[in-house]
Amino acid sequence: MIALMKRIIAVSGKYQGRIRLAFVFSFLKSLLSKAPVGLAFFTFAAFLDGRADGRFCLWIGGCMGVSLILQIICQHTADRLQSAAGFMVFAEKRMELGTHLRRMPMGYFTEGNIGKISSVLSTDMVFIEENCMTALADMMSYIFAEGIMLVFLAALNPWLGLLAAVFVGVVLLLAGGMRREALADSTDRQEQSENLTEAVLDFTEGIGIIKTYNLLGEKSKELTENFRKSCETNIHFEESHSPWQRRLNLVYGIGVAFVVALALFLYGKGMLEVSMLIGVMLFVFDLFGPLKALYGQSTRLTVMNSCMDRIEEVFAKSELPDAGSEHIPAAERLREGVPEVEFRDVGFSYYEKNAGADSNNTGAKEALRHVSFQMNRNEMTALVGPSGGGKSTIASLLARFWDVKSGKVLVRGTDIRKVPLSELMDNISMVFQRVYLFQDTIYNNISMGRPDATREEVMEAAKKARCYDFIMALPDGFDTMVGEGGESLSGGEKQRISIARCILKDAPIVILDEATASVDADNESYIQQAISELCVGKTLLVIAHRLNTIRSADQILVIADGEIAQSGTHGELMEEGGIYRDFVQVRENSGGWNRRAG
């Protein structure tokens, strides 16, 4: 428990001083909470000695009132110091987690960790922030109170204090075993909570497919099974804890009985005065009360410990290195002959727990091998080729979603690993294959491209992206709320809003990841017009399967099996033959890319 207390204080950052000061007031409150029993002891002793009179009783009553008032003040001060600290600490922790996740390689988000992240944010952090500070206050109060009781009992008679200390030691030994078992069970409990979160997310996100293929029964069984396991795990957690509580309660009772028996024995032998015996009787039945209350909260404390482990596990994941101190030179200062973007002998492989540039898993299949090409300023480069060939990987490496395994990716002659991530992102805009809009107004979704843009600039970007007209036709225009992910808009409309965001950002490098792969002819026409606006004065990297998207590209790279199979303009590649010309010839029949046998 002390270790847990240290862990919580360690993550409290700038609030540590408040928490430690709260401990002081918790100690004073514990001391004052025992004052009535001490005053009662002095009162009985005074009556037995014949010293009690009206003045003495008034003095005792006054002390009782003062101790009560001081106890209230100490409790109030401790609560004020620490009650909101948990929420403030974990509000900052959530921001730190967001910053940490932003710096993680994209591979982390494709390894089944979404449920873990959701569980840490919505379960673990919530549990700790709602319980940690009250738990800390209670822990300190109970520990101080137990110490005060032992000291007072030892002051009455050293043998009684020693016997009580022995039973406290027995309680601590039993509690250690209970804590170890509860910690293992609480880890299982939180992991099952994560599994349940993943199952719910999987079911809700895939509900359309589930209904289409009539899989409601099968998928519902999986979800129901996770609910059942969660129920069983929680029941097992409580059931495994109950025997330990019974053993502790038995030790408490035996300890009180032995202390009373020893006090009576000492009194019978004349080694304990009657006033001292009365003092023992006043204290003994509350002797183990603080410990009983402390370990009555052990389940809550062990769950907190498990939550801390899971939170620290996420924070321990390696980030993409972001210690770069170099800067991307301004376009007008670029040396002649230096390309806007260059891939220089790049190799890359996907594998589990990809941690960035410092990884080296030679056993994994390479997604890219010896990829080298240049993109000149204000020109369009189109990546085409069979699915799974490595097109999206190239786009992701340029945006530094991952780090290359070998070789270099350079922007204006500067290795992007040596440039701060924030600066690199300022120079790149992306229209993703799967457009995601936030559950917010259309205006705010577009203005994300440049938050300080004026309303007129946002509207101008919408006009250039050919989405102004359909936005104004909506009930609230630019202030219309879109559903999560942009579910209230069509795919083409979302694409155009995404392009408007890029136009507003006005980054010099734009990546279009299959931006026209899944829209109807009308929307494609609008998107083509929007892309034309976006391309003005930009260096463009396009991934597309539709010929009219790439026909006018300055450079076409055919990516197959992780390598550049062909490169050139549309006319050059048609004359050369090979994969590209095959695609053009079979396009009307196949509608996509197919590799010829052999």
The yes-or-no verdict on residue 28 having pLDDT over 80 is yes
Residue 543 three-state SS: strand
* Token representation of residue 55: 């003045």
Strand blocks (E) in 366-483 = 366-375, 380-384, 406-411, 414-415, 428-431
Q: How high does pLDDT run on average in the chain?
A: 81
Residue 337's CB: how many other CB atoms inside 10 A?
7
Task: Give the per-residue pLDDT at 344.
Answer: 95
Query: C-alpha angle with apex 18: 12 to 21, nearest 5 degrees?
Result: 125
Contacts of 304 (CB under 8 A, 6+ apart): 4, 8, 127, 128, 131, 132, 135
Binned at pLDDT 50, 70 and 90, residue 372 comes out as very high
Residue 407's CB: how many other CB atoms inside 10 A?
18
Q: 419 with 324: CB under 8 angstroms? A: yes
The yes-or-no verdict on residue 25 having pLDDT over 90 is no
Contacts of 279 (CB under 8 A, 6+ apart): 41, 44, 45, 156
Mean pLDDT in residue range 81-104? 83
**Closest C-alpha among 385, 380, 386 to residue 552:** 380
* Interval 496-539: pLDDT, tens: 898 899 999 999 999 887 555 455 666 667 777 887 777 788 89
Task: Give the per-residue pLDDT at 446.
Answer: 93
The yes-or-no verdict on residue 592 having pLDDT over 60 is no
* Torsion (CA) 492, 494, 500, 505 in degrees, nearest 10: -140
Task: Give the per-residue pLDDT at 217.
Answer: 64
User: What percent of the chain is modeled with pLDDT above 90?
Assistant: 20
Domain boundaries, the chain: 2-315, 377-392+420-590
Task: Give the per-residue pLDDT at 555.
Answer: 93
Q: Which of 257-261, 484-488, 526-530 shows the highest mean pLDDT?
A: 257-261
Task: Give the per-residue pLDDT at 422.
Answer: 87
Task: Give the per-residue pLDDT at 339.
Answer: 92
Task: Give the per-residue pLDDT at 213.
Answer: 57
The yes-or-no verdict on residue 112 having pLDDT over 80 is no
What is the sign of the dihedral through the CA atoms of 197, 200, 204 and 208? positive
Beta-strand relationship, 428-431 and 509-513? parallel
What's the predicted TM-score (pTM) here? 0.64
* Token representation of residue 336: 């002649």
The yes-or-no verdict on residue 199 having pLDDT over 70 is yes
* Interval 261-309: pLDDT, tens: 998 998 888 888 887 888 788 778 778 878 877 777 777 777 787 788 8
Name which CATH class applies to 2-315: mainly alpha
* Interval 400-438: pLDDT, tens: 988 999 999 999 999 999 999 889 999 998 887 677 788
Long-range contacts of 14-18 (CB under 8 A, 24+ apart): 15/85, 15/88, 15/89, 18/81, 18/82, 18/85
Residue 541 three-state SS: strand
Task: Give the per-residue pLDDT at 81.
Answer: 79
Q: Enter the CATH code of domain 377-392+420-590.
A: 3.40.50.300
